[in-house]
Structure formats: C-alpha cells, structure tokens
Amino acid sequence: MQSHYITHKNSTVHYRQFGNGPKLLFCFHGYGRESYTFSFLEKRLGNIYTIIAIDIPFHGLTKWKDELILKPKYLAQFILDIRQGLKKENMKFSLLGFSMGGRIALHLTELLSGQIDRLVLLAPDGLSFNFWRWFGSETWIGSKLLHYTIYHPGWIVWVVEKGEKWKVIHRSIADLIRYYIYDEEHRLSLYRRWVSMRKFSPALGKLRRLIVNNGIKVRMLFGAFDRVIPYKGGERFKEGIEAFASFEVVEAGHNLLSEVNARKIAQLIND
C-alpha cells in the first residue's frame, strides 16, 4: 500500500494505491468511510489491478479547503491525472463504488463513459429517487432546513423518537439518525459531507444508453437485509441493459465491504 496526494487549488486530495497490476481500478468509499476501506482487495487482485482508492472531501486524509460543493468534473480530472501519472493514459479503467461512492461512480461513468470498461456497484446510492437527499440539497427550503437542523436539532430528535415509538421509523434507521444528529461534530460533518456531494446526481436514462453504446460491463451487489439501500433500485436499473449488467443479492446488511464478501466482490471486478 502506498499513500499519495494531489493538489487542487488550496486543497490536498489523498488517495491510496493497492497492488501494482496491469489493469486499473478506481474505488470510492461510502459516507463516513475512507480509502483504506478497500485494502482487503489487494491480496486478491493486487497482481491483476492497480487499485486506486480516493478519500473524498471531508473524509480520510483529504484536506478540502475550497468551495464546499465538489464539482463532478473536478473528480473526473483527478482520475485522469492519476492515470497519467501511472503512465496508463491510453488504458480504459474500471470504477467501483460502495454506498455513497456508488452514486459518485455512476456520475463519473456518465462523464467518462468512453474510457470505462466496467462499473461495479456495491449497495449503491443513486439508483433510486431519494426524496430527502433531493429535498435537502436541491431545494431552497430544504437547504435552509438542513442548515437550521445542524444548529437546532431538537425538532428532528423529537420526530425520530416519536417515529420509532409509533413504529413508523425502524429502530436501525432511528439509531443511525441518532448517531449523526445527537453529537454536534457529527452534525457538522454530516452537513459538509452531504453538501459537498450534492452535484453527484446521475441521469439514469442517459447512463443506460451510454452503457449500451460503450459496452460497459455493470456488476451490482446488494445485501438482502439492507435497510439503508434496498436492492429494488438495482433491479430497476438493470432493465434495458440486461446484456451488460448482472445483479446479485447476498445474505448481508448494508456493509458489504468486508472479508466475508471479498471473494464475491473480486469476482465481480474480474469475471
């Protein structure tokens, strides 16, 4: 494993390199995770792939000091710059995204479709319409409410407690909300991370056409017991691109990035 940095304006973006294989794979982690999350892939794929895992803004060792919202075109350029530094600029590459990183990988595929040969999605965000993400990041009132909640969380605490009591909100979801809302630093991190990724919003219809036109292989893996990102979105996304896409559900929850699933994930990357 090697650590590297690239500079963007006033920021330093950190990424890790695992393995030194001839093929190239870029990985994007989920909310609250970081690039080391993908270290388990090295022993299975390190002789086949050079694996690059990037710490997105406000995660890991990346020091983001520029405009709060990261433009997708900047992240796309980071990828191309890293590829050039590895002297693989004429090579197509693969993308892998977990959870929020799945939404990032989907949008990057839309931007760089002619240079991508495979897209691997693990419990990905971005395949279903998320009302709360749309409301909180794309509407004026939602943005104001989100900002207000970060500094005045009492109302949402009340909603969660009542929702769990009345069995409208599942306990696992309530626990997740409590974890991020009850602590002030967690709330501030939530706000920065949420807002910084707001422009990553793939157009799924367009993306399907690009997948077909460019012959991109798509591999999707979901957890059967995942209450954060249900697998139904993957089933819908596969419609119309069946010749290029596979869809699997395993006996797991949301956290698919573990040694337990390492063999299956490696197969999806290199089948």
pLDDT tens by residue, the chain, 271 residues = 999 999 999 999 999 999 999 999 999 999 999 999 999 999 999 999 999 999 999 999 999 999 999 999 999 999 999 999 999 999 999 999 999 999 999 999 999 999 999 999 999 999 987 766 767 767 888 888 878 888 888 888 899 888 888 988 888 888 878 877 888 888 888 889 888 999 999 999 999 999 999 999 999 999 999 988 999 999 999 999 999 999 999 999 999 998 899 999 999 999 8
The predicted pLDDT at position 112 comes to 98
pLDDT score of 80: 98
Query: What pLDDT score was predicted for residue 5?
Result: 97
Please tell me the CATH superfamily of domain 2-126+201-269, with its number. Answer: Alpha/Beta hydrolase fold, catalytic domain (3.40.50.1820)
Question: Cβ(13)–Cβ(83) under 8 Å?
Answer: no
> Is there a contact between 131 and 107 (Cβ–Cβ < 8 Å)?
no
What lies within 8 Å, CB to CB, of 206 at 6+ separation is 110
The pLDDT value recorded for residue 169 is 86
**Looking at residue 87, what is its pLDDT?**
96
Give the pLDDT confidence score for residue 65 in this predicted structure.
Answer: 94
Instruction: List the helix and strand counts (H, then E) for the chain.
Output: 11, 8
pLDDT for res 132: 67
pTM, full prediction: 0.89
Query: What's phi and psi for 259, nearest 5 deg?
Result: -60, -30
pLDDT at residue number 167 = 85
- Res 210: pLDDT: 98
- The DSSP result for 166-195, as a single string, is TTSS-HHHHHHHHHHHSSHHHHHHHHHHHH
Cα 269 to Cα 86: distance, rounded to the nearest angstrom: 20
Segments making up each domain of the chain, as ranges: 2-126+201-269, 134-196
